[in-house]
A and B are shown apart, each in its own frame.
Chain A
């Protein structure tokens, strides 16, 4: 579904990502892990077109999307969430989700100005779609609250809700569990499983290793911008390079 070939990104003299290859199949949940500063978020920014790569290609369903604009990539079905709580703070949860249903039924400026019946129908559909997503993520009890007034756990879910309402086929989750308590983590894992079960492919960046091991079909490990390991969770866990990357090499090792 997604294929990354020889992806390289330099920031000035700094090589953030070097010759990175990876692929994701339809319906998978793939984990992208690595120490802080390894280049995980840079990968997300490259895949979603926030920054252009220095070299290499990104193919989505056999189509080259390298260098395309973020909105165009989102329209093709790749949607991301953000590491920080990113939502529209001055809007209610419902308005947040409704706004992002924008992609779903496209309506033009003129239709909106003249409030045509077709436009009203689309508005109805968008509302319906938004309510579905809100119920899906269990946000219905707070749907009329201002997004900025909600506790952290809810705000992370709003981020996911916004992404889901753009009807992604590949969902990129950037540390969705960050700052959540054990209870919220478990609930969110249930949601991720549900998202997978409706046929959405997921690429997950996360530091919570227990959760990653539990939910991912496959894991890719990145360090200093290079892929150092790839495989099933159990394989990766035992990989020597991975252990080194995470724990460091001792003074008297080797």
Chain B
């Protein structure tokens, strides 16, 4: 266990974060920044989905909750003229509130049946967006969503969202806040409780853990961040159609998490990172993305059931085996 962590320690987090902040200084390439922004969006989605999955529930409504955040924020800005900076958190809150409304009956249903319920919920959300034409303009979509209002720091420094760079920094900050929040939950007593619920909810219940409440909290927290990232997405892409939030999108988020490894916190991050970047560098992969994802998923489940996050551990044991018994003095 310790050896495995030593294996990845050289890349320490502050350095990683610094590198992420410095990237726009070296390249202003819109395409590259766009991909990085999409990667960060997917990292938030996969990590927030993991928060739900820690209680043993798999949600297929994550794209739906992203849509709620996206449409809420876009409509608040377009119809009510609210500032983006108010609409963004409201997008997250709208998702969380709807999650809360369905939460208590939903979490009573377990495992694959929960997944089925969320599948339907995702479809219902999409259907509502499709049919509520005078609000959402249905399948023709919301166009020309305004960019975030420019930020003015005491008249000294003005940030205008006219290129990819400010978007990049905004999503980077959002991602870091999200990850910090989720990591704090994960590594605390609360995270341990969620894990206990995942492993055996009868035992958890028998020692006084309010399983239902914890499942609802995890579900709402996960959906909140999906809403936040949806709100960002709306003002970044500037066009929303219900098609952007289909079942396939929801499944991709699960694939990111599973391929990366859901047991470890950085698994979801790793999965989203690699699977978003990979198709961009090999265009052919992008065209056949569902096929490629199935292939990757099969390879992972057969050969690396713990996901990519288990690679360091595997590497460490391989190194140990290669070094042979001569170095067994410990």
Chain A positions within 8 Å of B, measured between CB atoms, are 48, 50, 69-72, 74-75, 79-80, 82, 86-91, 95, 98-100, 102-103, 107, 109, 112-115, 119, 123, 126, 162-163, 165-166
How far does the Cβ of B73 sit from chain A's closest Cβ, in whole Å?
A: 24
A181 to B23, CA, bound (A): 64
Query: 11 additional contacts, CB 8 Å, given A71-B211, A74-B208?
Result: A88-B200, A90-B195, A91-B199, A102-B192, A103-B207, A103-B209, A112-B189, A115-B184, A119-B188, A123-B189, A166-B206
- Chain B residue with Cβ nearest A168: B207
**Binary contact track B46-83/A, C-beta < 8 Å → 1, others 0:** 00000000000000000000000000000000000000
- Are A86 and B200 in contact (CB-based, < 8 A)? yes
Chain B positions within 8 Å of A, measured between CB atoms, are 181, 184-185, 188-190, 192-193, 195-196, 199-200, 202-211, 217
| Residue numbers in A under 8 Å from B189 (CB-CB) | 102, 107, 112, 123, 126
Most buried by A among B181, B188, B211: B188
Given that A91-B199, A102-B189, A109-B217 are contacting pairs, would A74 and B184 also be in contact in the complex, using a CB cutoff of 8 Å? Answer: no
A90 to B190, CA, bound (A): 17
- Chain B residue with Cβ nearest A48: B206
- Chain A residue with Cβ nearest B184: A113
- Are A50 and B202 in contact (CB-based, < 8 A)? yes
| Cross-chain contact of A163 among B184, B193, B207 (Cβ < 8 A) | B207
| Residue numbers in B under 8 Å from A72 (CB-CB) | 210
A112 to B203, CA, bound (A): 23
| Residue numbers in A under 8 Å from B181 (CB-CB) | 113
How far does the Cβ of B56 sit from chain A's closest Cβ, in whole Å?
A: 12
Most buried by A among B181, B190, B193, B211: B190
Does more than half of chain B's interface fall in helix, strand or loop, or is it mixed? helix
| Residue numbers in B under 8 Å from A102 (CB-CB) | 189, 192-193, 207-209
| Residue numbers in A under 8 Å from B184 (CB-CB) | 112-115
A82 to B181, CA, bound (A): 35
| Residue numbers in B under 8 Å from A100 (CB-CB) | 196, 207
Q: Using a Cβ cutoff of 8 Å, how many contacts connect chains A and B?
A: 88
| Residue numbers in A under 8 Å from B192 (CB-CB) | 95, 98-99, 102
How far does the Cβ of B23 sit from chain A's closest Cβ, in whole Å?
A: 28
- Are A82 and B202 in contact (CB-based, < 8 A)? yes
Given that A88-B196, A99-B196 are contacting pairs, would A112 and B207 also be in contact in the complex, using a CB cutoff of 8 Å? Answer: no
How far does the Cβ of A111 sit from chain B's closest Cβ, in whole Å?
A: 9
- Are B207 and A79 in contact (CB-based, < 8 A)? yes
Given that A112-B189, A113-B185, A123-B189 are contacting pairs, would A79 and B199 also be in contact in the complex, using a CB cutoff of 8 Å? Answer: no
- Chain A residue with Cβ nearest B180: A113
| Residue numbers in A under 8 Å from B199 (CB-CB) | 88-91
Most buried by B among A50, A89, A95, A102: A102
| Residue numbers in B under 8 Å from A112 (CB-CB) | 184-185, 188-190
| Residue numbers in B under 8 Å from A71 (CB-CB) | 205, 208-211
- Are A88 and B203 in contact (CB-based, < 8 A)? yes
| Residue numbers in B under 8 Å from A163 (CB-CB) | 206-207
| Residue numbers in B under 8 Å from A95 (CB-CB) | 192
How far does the Cβ of A90 sit from chain B's closest Cβ, in whole Å?
A: 6
A100 to B199, CA, bound (A): 13
How far does the Cβ of B195 sit from chain A's closest Cβ, in whole Å?
A: 7
How far does the Cβ of A59 sit from chain B's closest Cβ, in whole Å?
A: 19
How far does the Cβ of B120 sit from chain A's closest Cβ, in whole Å?
A: 27
A79 to B195, CA, bound (A): 20
- Are A113 and B208 in contact (CB-based, < 8 A)? no
A87 to B199, CA, bound (A): 8
How far does the Cβ of A169 sit from chain B's closest Cβ, in whole Å?
A: 12
Given that A109-B185, A112-B188 are contacting pairs, would A166 and B207 also be in contact in the complex, using a CB cutoff of 8 Å? Answer: yes
| Cross-chain contact of B195 among A69, A80, A88 (Cβ < 8 A) | A88
A79 to B193, CA, bound (A): 17
Given that A89-B199, A91-B199 are contacting pairs, would A166 and B208 also be in contact in the complex, using a CB cutoff of 8 Å? Answer: yes
- Are A79 and B203 in contact (CB-based, < 8 A)? no
How far does the Cβ of A129 sit from chain B's closest Cβ, in whole Å?
A: 13
A114 to B199, CA, bound (A): 26
- Are A80 and B196 in contact (CB-based, < 8 A)? no
- Are A165 and B196 in contact (CB-based, < 8 A)? no
- Chain B residue with Cβ nearest A165: B207
- Chain A residue with Cβ nearest B196: A99
A107 to B207, CA, bound (A): 15
- Are B208 and A103 in contact (CB-based, < 8 A)? yes
